[in-house]
Structure 1
Amino acid sequence: MPAWLRRIAERSAPAARRRRAVPAPGRAARVGWWAAGALPLVGCLTSFPIGASKPTIAVPGVGYQGGFAAGWQHPLNQPAYFTWLSNAMVAGTSLTLAARRTAPTSDAFWAVRTAGLGSVMVTGIVYNGLLRGMEQDTALYRFNDTLQHIVNPVLAPAVWAAFDPRGQITGRRAGLAAVIPLVWAAATLVRGARIDWYPYPFLDVPRMGYRGVGVVLSVVLAGFSGLLGVLGQLDRRLAVR
């Protein structure tokens, strides 16, 4: 077919047919995604027996008085922690990539994937920079802590850089990804005012006030947005290579 005729045919074809297909992932990619999904899943699941056997950590000096005793309520409260949410997003999207023959193409999936990557890195930075030392001295807790706060914040972006299809972090998807931590923060503050408990001391509204907590959240969200920008730049560079 002459080149000019082929160009006309491509222009008249549906957009979905013109789009270059993403190659099927190889064995190494699937192994990487399974590992990057299974480990945060284990971290999320082991949070439940920890909650069942231990109450919420009593942080000295905070202004809120609520909390959860060991038992059925504390395990149900685990998704309130940003650590749990970030690891759950990484687990779900990584296992989806590992199980499918081809990668999803929806904005929703890649927004959650992007949010999970940014969130788990923020989790590692904030926890190890500000909250380290609040651990409970049990073997299961130390195992869970190592997975969720050390291993997964490094493993998830490494597997993404090595195996994820390129060109998936667009401005639209990064914007959608940023909505997730905003919704979590809003829901946490509303819930905290009702139950007089917050998952982290830097969200201590009774002591810091909404203005002080807002400043902290603005810094964290700015860091999150910066990480998404770095991921987007790296995604484009890797696509060129």
Structure 2
Amino acid sequence: MPTQTCVDRRRVLTGTTAALAFAAAPSLRAQPLGIRAVAFDAFPIFDPRSIAARAQDIYGEKGKALAAQWSAKLFGYSWLETAAGRYRDFRTIADAALRFTARSMQIPLDDSARTALVGAYDELAIWPDVPPALERLRAEGIRLAFLSNLGGATLEANIRRNDIAEFFETPLSTDRVQSFKPSPKAYAMALDAFGMPRENIGFAAFGGWDAVGATWFGYRTVWVNRFGVTPEQFDAAPAVTSRGIDGVLAMAGLS
């Protein structure tokens, strides 16, 4: 008959062997649900180059520089408002940034040009690689919504214009929380809208700054770096970086 010491030792060895076998068999462990929803910034889906093209139509060669400086000033204004705890809608600050830029560049800006340029945000086309990716995401049951600094009306106009409403839930404009990205209030909209923990929500960013903000918030993030710009130098790298929408599929484990 084995002694009590031998019996105890056998129990320890048996338990250790079972634990090692369980650890070595991933199929036996509880698996995370993974990405079940994706929140998109507008521009991984919509191509913003038509805005610069509109400026060039109006102002010729000067239009290209105007569009670039206007975009930079627009982001600066949105961040200034957020830092100060203030909020004016995207269209309002886009118009203010345009007026500042035109004045600083000594470019004449009449009401017709202002209306045409700010209105260009309502008339965006989608990138060519988007439709098949949306079909794949829908086939896998992954929920989709825009989470954008653009106004709700602008998002709706572009969704209708490109006939992609069937793929997306109600757009999450920062108008809802009166705070632009990268405010945590903005990113938190997806938690409430999808009703999921953040580890099951992916975020698709167009700007490197947005990829950093979403990563800091705790989302698994893909940076759809369509123009190949330099990464931001912060302590938060996106999980995936790609030149096209295929990065979203990779983030969701579908590539």
Same fold, TM exceeding 0.5?
A: no
Of the two, which has the highest radius of gyration? Answer: 2
Greater fraction strand: 2
* Greater relative contact order structure (CA < 8 Å, 6+ sep): 1
